[in-house]
Chains A and B, each alone.
Chain A
Amino acid sequence: MRKKGINYAKYGYYFSIPFVLAYLIFSLYPTIYTVIIGFTDLRGLGRTTFTFLDDPFENFKLILANDTFKKSVVNTAVIWIMNFIPQILLALLLTAWFTNRRFKVKGQGIFKVLIYMPNIITAATIAILFNSLFGYPKGPVNDLLMTLGILDAPANFHMQEWTSKGVVAFIQFWMWYGNSMIVLIAGVLGISPTLFEAAEVDGATPTQIFFKITLPRLKTILLYVLITSMVGGLQMYDIPKLYLWGGPDNATLTANVFIHNQAFSGSYLYNRAAAASMLMFLIIVVLSIAMFYLMRDRGEQKLRRQERARVRALKREASV
């Protein structure tokens, strides 16, 4: 550091090059392609030529007027909320338990491993498994409920709208709470142990430690968990598709299943699928911005503070 006022900004650019390059090569074209065909008449298999529509927003208007699309968006939101709230609460609770030094949960290594496990089986396997579990007129769940005397006759679960939504939400919850938990624990591991030690010496209860020390410092990671599970949840596709193909009567039809059906289920409406994708993209962006705003990032401010500190340090250095 002999040079005065060296400019490190260029490294920001250098270190971003691999990402940008990979993105340009592999994803830019597909993305632009998606955006463009939303404004064209491209439908039908294997066609590569298309013309722009006279009314560029025709596809968007058609999609917005499409009742099935509206229903799919509502379903997506409902199913997401049904799985997301319990998921994040349980993940936080487990994180609090596993990282609290007073509890010293024995065998927590094994628990952490087991709890994450549902995430490693493919969605297809899980969906098919649950489909048979809730089978009618005979299936394990029906058998169990009848043995326990809760039901007199087998229930046709696959025909019940809310049971189906509930099962999809449960699968989603169950496959992902372990994932969220692990991310949160990794975040807690990044917090300095001396902070916890100090709190314990001061006689803080586990609850106090969690809310006063862990949670505030977990905020940046929590934001990540919130945003990614929202993005993932709103793009929910394979579980509802494979569990009951979006049925019964569209009860589990999510937005991405709808988009897939537009593009691939027979009419190859690529243009409308692209338009619907962009609408979903807009919804997700708006919600994400809202979430960023709600969680108004202290980390951001912190970063700014650190920068100021660094500038000061540089100045100090320069004056030496």
Chain B
Amino acid sequence: MKRNMRIIVSMLLIVCMSLSLFAAGQTEAAKAPARKVINLWSFTDEVPKMLEKYKALNPDFDYEINTTIIATTDGAYQPALDQALASGGNDAPDIYCAESAFVLKYTQGDAAHFAAPYKSLGIDVDKKLKEADIAPYTVDIGSNSKGELVGLGYQATGGAFIYRRSIAKDVWGTDDPAVIKTKVGPGWEKFFQAAEDLRKKNYAIISGDGDIWHAIEGSSPKGWIVDGKLFVDKTREDFLDIAKTMVDKGYHNDTRDWTDAWFADMKDAGVKKVFGFFGPAWLINYVMAGNSGGTKPGEGTYGDWAVCEPPVGFFWGGTWVIANNNSPVKDAVGKIIEWITLDSSNTGLQYFWANGTLNGPGGTKDTVASGTVMKKSDGTLAFLGGQDMFDVFVPAGAFATGKNKTQYDETINIYWRDQVRSYSAGNKGRAAALADFKKQVADNLAISAH
């Protein structure tokens, strides 16, 4: 027994010693002198590529950029970022990116205390905001509960209705966006009339219920949480009926977004030909163009598209850039962030981004947050039959609101759309779907219903 004691004691000693060694290592690290390194955390290589460009434009900017990229699709970005922010030290992020699905957690929610106000980075926020004419919804989302601006994006992701010219001509005799916007909107009633017109000629107005959900979500006056409780806004509750009508009357192909069938509908490979999709500019660039079955007008559906105002305003997606409050290199961070989010000159990031010239000419054009930049940029796309998409997307950014978002949206939307689908597929009644939805939220998030 004595021997056992000795073993146990020596084991404990070893544990203690090794732990204290680690601890010692850590305190030394904390005392490190001012560094010339900026840690950047992101979920794509978009922002890291921007910083490369920034360094190329500013040779005297002598900070080393240390990039960490973790994909959001595997669900590890947030846990890793949260750990790194909470632990601090030399590896802590100085600049980090957040996607619209979870940005509110970092600007207003549980992780808001890490976000540094842009003013504390030496940015003249008020003047610059006015100068660049930044889309208001991005400011709403990027402001913390004290009203200080802590995050901004570079894209504007206001949405439009993207429709097929040939189908529009077949049904209404014209493909003019000014006319089509009065056919599909404003409001859902007109949209349903259009769906009926299209159905008579055996077209589907949209591909699946996922397409309208973003528009409905974005147009509701109130978000999912009001005063700490779950609130089902009338606009959102109506989605149950809209989805059901769509299925019952055969207005769409009943696909799920981001599945094979949904992508196939972009090139007429689905059950019925699909008239349109709801989406921001990135949907055209990164999803529809590639899935149109062609690379130049005449091939597939390429060139047979146009954009017009949607029946209701909304935005979908986007990346916000945030600085760490505990960063020791705030000045340098401020310079970078200002260049990305608020610089409306021809050498600011957004000018390159809008015109697709960040990595040389001929890149993808995209809408950006600065109205000033949009005005002097050219959004003509062959994919849209030569239409300048900025004419529609710039006002779209103004219709969008950031006030109906919460940090729980990603999860609550999954539960909501699951129940809506159960109802529209006829698996359960409307009241049961609503009750089950509330139960799901209460059981999983501990948020009770109003």
Distance between A234 CB and nearest chain B CB, rounded to angstroms:
20
Q: Which residues of A contact B382 (CB under 8 A)?
A: none
Let me know if A112 is at the binding interface, CB within 8 A. Answer: no
Given contacts A13-B4, A268-B110, contact A46 B86 (CB under 8 A): yes
Let me know if A248 is at the binding interface, CB within 8 A. Answer: yes
Let me know if A20 is at the binding interface, CB within 8 A. Answer: yes
Q: Which residues of B contact A20 (CB under 8 A)?
A: 11
Q: Which residues of A contact B7 (CB under 8 A)?
A: 13-14, 17
Q: In the bound complex, how far is the Cα of B8 from the Cα of A20, in angstroms? A: 10
Q: Are B422 and A248 in contact (CB under 8 A)?
A: yes
Let me know if A27 is at the binding interface, CB within 8 A. Answer: no
* Binary B-proximity of A240-265 (CB < 8 A = 1, otherwise 0): 00000101111000000010011011
Interface of B is mostly: helix
Q: Which residues of B contact A43 (CB under 8 A)?
A: 446
Given contacts A21-B11, A45-B110, contact A249 B419 (CB under 8 A): yes
Q: Which residues of A contact B79 (CB under 8 A)?
A: 264
Let me know if B398 is at the binding interface, CB within 8 A. Answer: no
Let me know if B421 is at the binding interface, CB within 8 A. Answer: yes
Q: In the bound complex, how far is the Cα of B110 from the Cα of A265, in angstroms? A: 13
Q: Which residues of B contact A245 (CB under 8 A)?
A: 414
- Nearest B residue (CB) for A161: B427
Let me know if B27 is at the binding interface, CB within 8 A. Answer: no
Q: In the bound complex, how far is the Cα of B113 from the Cα of A44, in angstroms? A: 13
Q: Which residues of B contact A159 (CB under 8 A)?
A: 421-422, 425, 427
Q: Are B445 and A266 in contact (CB under 8 A)?
A: yes
Q: Are B445 and A69 in contact (CB under 8 A)?
A: no
Q: In the bound complex, how far is the Cα of B100 from the Cα of A126, in angstroms? A: 29
Q: Are A10 and B3 in contact (CB under 8 A)?
A: yes
Let me know if A66 is at the binding interface, CB within 8 A. Answer: yes
Interface residues of B in 251-302 (CB under 8 A from A): 253-256, 259-261, 264, 270-271
Q: Are A137 and B253 in contact (CB under 8 A)?
A: yes
Distance between A109 CB and nearest chain B CB, rounded to angstroms:
36
Point out the residue from A45, A69, A249, A265 that lies within 8 Å of B111, measured CB to CB: A45
* Binary B-proximity of A1-39 (CB < 8 A = 1, otherwise 0): 000000000100110010011001100000000000000
A residues contacting the other copy or chain, number (CB 8 A): 43
Point out the residue from A13, A21, A248 that lies within 8 Å of B14, measured CB to CB: A21
Distance between B10 CB and nearest chain A CB, rounded to angstroms:
9
Q: Are B253 and A46 in contact (CB under 8 A)?
A: no
Let me know if A67 is at the binding interface, CB within 8 A. Answer: yes
Let me know if A267 is at the binding interface, CB within 8 A. Answer: yes
- Nearest A residue (CB) for B408: A266
- Nearest A residue (CB) for B4: A13
Point out the residue from B3, B255, B425 that lies within 8 Å of A137, measured CB to CB: B255
Task: Name the segment of B141-149, B165-173, B436-444 touching the other chain.
Answer: B436-444
Distance between A75 CB and nearest chain B CB, rounded to angstroms:
14
Let me know if A206 is at the binding interface, CB within 8 A. Answer: no
Distance between A204 CB and nearest chain B CB, rounded to angstroms:
50
Q: Which residues of B contact A248 (CB under 8 A)?
A: 418, 421-422, 427
Let me know if A135 is at the binding interface, CB within 8 A. Answer: yes
Q: Are A267 and B261 in contact (CB under 8 A)?
A: no
Let me know if A136 is at the binding interface, CB within 8 A. Answer: yes
Q: In the bound complex, how far is the Cα of B439 from the Cα of A267, in angstroms? A: 15
Q: In the bound complex, how far is the Cα of B411 from the Cα of A156, in angstroms? A: 23
Q: Are A272 and B446 in contact (CB under 8 A)?
A: yes
Q: Which residues of A contact B86 (CB under 8 A)?
A: 46, 48
- Nearest B residue (CB) for A156: B425
For the complex with contacts A45-B111, A136-B256, A138-B270, 17 further pairs of A-B residues with Cβ separation under 8 Å are: A14-B7, A20-B11, A24-B15, A44-B110, A45-B110, A46-B86, A132-B260, A136-B255, A136-B261, A137-B253, A139-B261, A156-B254, A248-B421, A249-B419, A264-B75, A264-B78, A267-B408
What are 20 sample pairs from A and B whose C-beta atoms fall under 8 A apart? A10-B3, A13-B4, A21-B11, A21-B14, A45-B82, A46-B82, A68-B443, A135-B259, A137-B253, A137-B261, A159-B421, A247-B418, A248-B427, A249-B422, A249-B436, A264-B75, A266-B408, A266-B412, A267-B444, A267-B447
- Residues of B at under 8 Å CB distance from A? 3-4, 7, 11, 14-15, 18, 74-75, 78-79, 82, 85-86, 105, 109-111, 114, 253-256, 259-261, 264, 270-271, 407-408, 410-412, 414, 418-419, 421-422, 425, 427-428, 436, 439-440, 443-447
A-B pairs, 4 with minimum CB distance: A45-B110, A68-B443, A266-B408, A267-B445
